[in-house]
Amino acid sequence: MTAIIADFRSDTVTRPSAGMRQAMLSAELGDDVYGDDPTVNHLESYIADLTGKEAALLCTSGTQSNLVALLAHCQRGDEYIVGQEAHTYKYEGGGAAVLGSIQPQPIDFEADCTLDLDKVKAKLKADNPHFARSRLLCLENTCGGRVLPLGYHSRAAEFCATQGLALHLDGARLFNATQQQGVTAQDITRHYDSVSLCMSKGLGAPVGSLLVGDRAFIAEAHKWRKMLGGGMRQAGIIAAACLYALEHNIDGLSVDHEHARLLAQGLADIPGISCDPLTVQTNMVFISIDDAALAAPLKTFLRERGIIIRGEREIRLVTHLDIDRQGVESMLQACGEFFG
């Protein structure tokens, strides 16, 4: 097989850079289950400061971090309100229901990936023995590559305060949002009771997600993480990569966004591919192959040229720090040849 020059399947495919590996090699380690891994402790206080929260918890994955948050917010028989296409609802194996006896109340996203608060309100259950107890609203940012409008966070927070709901953000790609909007993490996180952040997406760490919230919430989350098998011993080796990612790779997300724009503009000009560059906000480009029969041959054609894509007729292309401008140009050239 040809060597890979650009893998557009996801921003999770990045390999740790030389600098990141060096940071992992030289990390000071302890036993985090005893709370004495200095690198984990440093990472947790670093992200807590960055997001303006009291405390943080290193989790094995975004799925675990979101699940731990749901378990910490909700009791058995409670309900969380969530987007129909949201990761926490659709792509995490139904963990909240399976492991927490927490009932999901999914609601369709609006075009901008917000949940219409009037529609949420209409689904809230009265305090009555017939119903699950509505307890938590869960949002996602970025969401299918889209960034939640800045004004929405405070409206959602006010709504939740009025309705007695807690508010969780699946911020797997939160820093893509802050880079796109030119705001600080705290401009967004201050509106939420808890936020989950992935280090292993565009930030380039091999493993790790962080959950932030107040001290009591994180103490509760800590217990659930242990129960889920997420208590890791010399986890500083992972925390060092996460710290490196936070210190070095946030600004570079803007480059990924620029690459996604270039990619979308180029693909939009190729007959046979449909793509609207105006919908590209961060590092994701959605395209559709006009002739469905050409989707599989295109994939093979690209693979022979070292380019990997994923999907059938509808394809999501994701840019990340292991795709440079040359990778984008190679993709455009190969697609041009294929459809030319």
Ligand X SMILES: *Cc1c(COP(=O)(O)O)cnc(C)c1O
* Residues of this chain that bind ligand X (CB under 6 A): 61-63, 66, 87, 140, 170, 172, 198, 200, 209
User: 146 phi and psi, to 5 degrees?
Assistant: -95, 155
Q: How far is the CB of 68 from ligand X (least distance, A)?
A: 12
* Token output for 219: 């103490």
Q: Which is nearer to ligand X, 79 or 170 (CB)?
A: 170
Contact predicate 7/331, CB 8 Å: no
Q: What is the dihedral of CA 5, 277, 11, 251, to 10 degrees?
A: 100
The smaller minimum CB distance to ligand X, of residues 31 and 85, is found at 85
C-alpha triplet 116, 120, 124: angle, nearest 5°: 170
For 8, 51, 66, 155, 174, the CA distances from 264, given in Å and listed in that order, are 13, 32, 31, 32, 22
Structure tokens of 275?
Answer: 């793509």
For residues 67 and 273, which CB has a smaller minimum distance to ligand X in the complex? Answer: 67
Phi, psi angle pair for 59, to nearest 5° = -115, 165
Q: Provide the CA 212 distance to its chain's centre, in angstroms.
A: 14
Judge whether 51 and 213 are in contact, CB under 8 Å. Answer: no
| Pick 78 or 140: Cβ nearer ligand X | 140
> Nearest distance from residue 145's CB to ligand X, in Å?
10
Give 177 or 302: the residue with its C-beta nearer to ligand X: 177
Q: Is 24 helix (H, G, I), strand (E, B) or coil?
A: helix
Q: Which is nearer to ligand X, 208 or 236 (CB)?
A: 208
**Residue with Cβ nearer ligand X (37 or 92):** 92
What is the distance, to the nearest Å, from the Cα of residue 326 to the centroid of all Cα atoms in its chain? 26
Interatomic CA distance for residues 4 and 322, integer angstroms: 11
**Token digits of residue 2:** 């040809």
104 with 96: CB under 8 angstroms? yes
- What is the pairing mode between strands 133-140 and 78-83? parallel
How many CA atoms, within 13 angstroms, populate the side-chain half-sphere of residue 238? 22
User: For residues 15 and 76, which CB has a smaller minimum distance to ligand X in the complex?
Assistant: 15
Residue number, 62 or 266, with CB nearest to ligand X: 62
Q: Give min distance, CB of 198 to ligand X, in A.
A: 5
To the nearest 10 degrees (0 to 180), the angle between helices 325-339 and 295-303 is 130
Least Cβ distance, residue 61 to ligand X (angstroms): 3
Distance CA 148, CA 139 (A): 9
Of the candidates 262, 248, 226, the residue with the CA atom closest to the CA atom of residue 335: 262
| Residue of closest CB approach to ligand X | 62
